[in-house]
Chains A and B, each alone.
Chain A
Amino acid sequence: MKRDILYGVMAEFKTPTELVEAARATEHAGYKKFDAYSPFPIEELSDAVGFHKNGVPLVVLIAGIIGCLSGYALQYWISVIAYPINVGGRPMHSWPSFVVVTFEVTILFAGVSAVLGMLALNGLPMPYHPVFNVPRFALASKDRFFLIIFYSDPKFDLASTTKFLQAMGPRSISEVPG
C-alpha cells in the first residue's frame, strides 16, 4: 500500500496569519483532509480547517446530568431506604440537606468528563504519530506553524500538492512518511 510510504505533505510557516491564510486557501482549493498545527490556540484556525462539530459540550452536559441524578439518588437511597436515621423527627427525605452533595457530584462528573471527553475525542494519549517523524515539527510547540495535507485526501497528488503548498511561500516543505 502507498499509505505505508507517505502520510502527507507538510508546510512550515512563520506567523499565525500565514497559517490561517494557507488553511483557508487549502479548503478553497477543494482539499478535504488536512490539518494545521500551532504552538497556541488560534480561534480562526479551527474554522479554517473546517472543524465545526465540537462534541465536548454535549459530553459534559450528559455527564453533569448523570452526576446530578446519581448524587441525589445516592443520598435518597442511603437516607430513606438503606440506612434511615430519625434525627429530631425530621422527614427521612429531607431534600434541602441533599442539595450541597448533589451539586458537588454534578461538578465532579462534569469536570472529569470534560477532561476525559476532550482527550478521548482528540484520540489522546497517542505517543506515536507520523507527524513527529519530521524533525522540524519539534518547533510546532515553540514558534512555528505547520499545515499538512493528508495522503488520504482524494485530491492528493504528491507533485501537484507540493506545488500548491510551495505557492503559499512556506519556510520549508517536507514529506511526512507514514
Chain B
Amino acid sequence: MSEPNKGESGLVQAPVIEPGHTFATVTDQISSIVLTRPVSNGWVFGFGLSFLLTMGMLYSIGYLFIKGVGIWGVNIPVGWGFAIVNFVWWIGIGHAGTLISAILLLLRQSWRNSINRFAEAMTLFAVSCAGLFPILHLGRPWLAYWLFPIPNTMQYWPQFRSPLVWDVFAVSTYATISALFWFIGLIPDLATLRDRTDNRGLKIVYGMLAMGWRGSARHWARYETAYLLLAGLATPLVLSVHTVVSFDFAVGIVPGWHTTIFPPYFVAGAIYSGFAMVLMLAIPIRKFYGLEDFITERHLENSAMVMLATGLIVGYGYVIEAFMNWYAGDPNEGFVLWNRLHGPYALSYYALLFCNLVLPQVLWIRKFRVKPFWLFLISLDILVGMWLERFVIVVVSLHRDFLTSSWGMYYPTRWDWMTYIGTIGLFLSLMFLFVRILPMISIFEMRTLLPEAEVKSE
C-alpha cells in the first residue's frame, strides 16, 4: 500500500479529506456503496462466515436454555465466568463510538466526521452483544424483566441499593441514547439516499425512514441544537456507564475488586479497547471500499494517539492497584497481587501486561501509527489484552476465596467459547449488513468539511 506522506516530518498532518472533492463527489462516492455497488464475493464470504458463527451462538444459547448454566464452567467460588468477562469487554468496546460521536463533537474535533457513523454503529452492535451476557447468566433468563420496575402481581420491586440494578439502568439508557443519536445522525443522509435511488421500493423505505426531511434552514437549526444537546447528554452518560460497570465490582468486598481506582481505570480501558476495535474495522473498510480519501492517515494516527494515551492511564491503574494491594496492609489484599504473579493463572496476568502495557509502546514511533498493517496488529493485541484484563479481574480475584477450603478453579467449557465467539460473529454480521444498507460515513457532515461549504462574508 502506498503512503503519500512517507518520509515527511512528524509535524505535517495528513488532511481530513484528500483535496479535490466537492459536494457532489462526496455524496456520490459514499452513497454509491449502498445504492449501486454490486455485492462482492468477499462480502458474501465474510458475511457468510460471521453468520455461521452467529448460528453457533444461537445453538449454544438454545442448549443453555434447555440445560441451564451448568453447561458453562461457572461454579462456586467462580460464579462470574466468561459471561461477565465478555459483558465488560463488549460494553467497553462500545464506548469509543460515543466518545468519537459525542465528546469529540463537543471538543470541535472535526476529523471525527468521517468515522463517527460507523463508530456509532459499532457501539450499538457491541452493546447488543454485551447485553446478551448478563441475561444469559441469570440462570432463569425468562425472568429478566424482574430487573425493571414493572408493576406485577407478586408486588415485587427491584432493590435500588444494588449496583447490579444501577447497571441495568445505565446500560439500557446507554443503548437507547446511542440508538437515538445514531438514528438522528442518519436522517439527513437517509433523505440523500431517498433522493438518489432509482429503485421505487428503496425510495419508499429510505423515504419513510427519512421522515420527510427536506433540509429547511429552520429544521437544520433545531436539528443542530438537538444533536449538540444529545452529545452533551451522551458525554456524562458514557463516562457513567463504565463507572457503573466498575461499581459492580468495586462496591463488593472481594479483594482485587474493592478499590477506588476502578471507575477511571475502567473508563480509560473501555476507550482503549474501543479505539482498537474502531481501527480494526476502519482499516479493512477503507481499503476494500476505497475510502482512503475520507478515512485518511490523520484518522489512523489520531486514533493511535488516543490508544497510546488511554493505554498509559490503564497502566497507571495497574500500578496503583498493585501499590494499594501492598499499602493496604491487609493480608487478603496482598495475596491478590501474589496470586496474580505466582498463582495458577499467572500466565494470563503476564500476557495482559505484555499486550496492554509493553507492546503498545511502539505507538510512540510514527511509523506504527500510520502504517495500517502494523496498526491493525497492534489493535488486535490490545483487544486481546483488554479481554485478558477482564479475565484477570473476574476470575483470578474470585478463584481464591477468603478461606482456603473454598478455593477452586475455573475452566471455560466449549459452550463458553462458542457463545463468546458467536457474539463476535453476531457483531461482524451486523457490521457487514450495516455497510451495505446505510451510508457508513456521515455524508452531510463530510460536506461541512469541504472548503466550498464556507460562507464567505463580504
Q: Which residues of A contact B (CB under 8 A)?
A: 15-17, 20-21, 23, 35-46, 48-49, 51, 54-57, 60, 74-75, 78-79, 82-83, 85, 87, 90, 94, 97-98, 100-101, 103-105, 107-108, 110-112, 114-115, 117-119, 121-122, 124-129, 131-132, 137-143
Contact = CB atoms under 8 A, between A and B. Distances in A.
Interface string B177-215: 100110110001001101110000000000110011111
**Which label, helix, strand, loop or mixed, suits the secondary structure of the A interface?**
helix
A127 B207 contact: yes
Given A42-B217, A57-B229, A118 B212 contact: no
B298 interface: no
Nearest to B444: A40
Contacts of A129: 212, 214
A83 B173 contact: no
A101 B230 contact: no
B404 interface: no
A94 to B, nearest CB: 6
A112 B180 contact: yes
B89 to A, nearest CB: 22
Given A104-B170, A110-B233, A140 B215 contact: yes
Interface string B432-458: 000000000000110110001111101
B233 to A, nearest CB: 5
Given A117-B226, A127-B207, A35 B160 contact: no
B240 A118 contact: no
A48 B217 contact: yes
A87 B161 CA distance: 9
Contacts of B169: 100-101, 104-105
Contact of A141 (B156, B191, B237, B247): B191
A126 B163 CA distance: 43
A51 B177 contact: no
Contact of A100 (B156, B170, B211, B447): B170
B156 A83 contact: yes
Contact of B192 (A43, A74, A131, A141): A141
8 contacts: A16-B453, A49-B218, A56-B226, A104-B173, A107-B233, A111-B233, A121-B222, A127-B207
A56 to B, nearest CB: 4
A100 B240 contact: yes
Interface in B319-360: none
Contacts of A97: 160-161
Interface string B15-47: 000000011100100000000000000000000
Contacts of B402: none
A65 B444 CA distance: 32
Listed from nearest, the 8 A-B pairs whose CB atoms lie closest are: A143-B23, A125-B211, A118-B226, A46-B221, A126-B212, A138-B195, A83-B157, A100-B166
Contacts of A142: 23-24, 27, 192, 195-196
A115 B217 contact: no
Contacts, number: 203
Interface in B143-167: 149, 155-161, 163, 165-166
A8 B458 CA distance: 29
Contacts of A57: 225, 229
B212 A46 contact: no
A12 to B, nearest CB: 13
A21 B455 CA distance: 9
B216 A37 contact: yes
Interface string B218-258: 11111111100110011011001000100100000000000
A125 B244 CA distance: 36
Contacts of B149: 74, 78
B448 A140 contact: no
Contacts of A60: 226, 229
Nearest to A117: B226
A79 B149 CA distance: 11
B5 interface: no
B444 A107 contact: no
Given A16-B453, A35-B216, A121-B222, A85 B229 contact: no
A122 B173 contact: no
B195 A115 contact: no
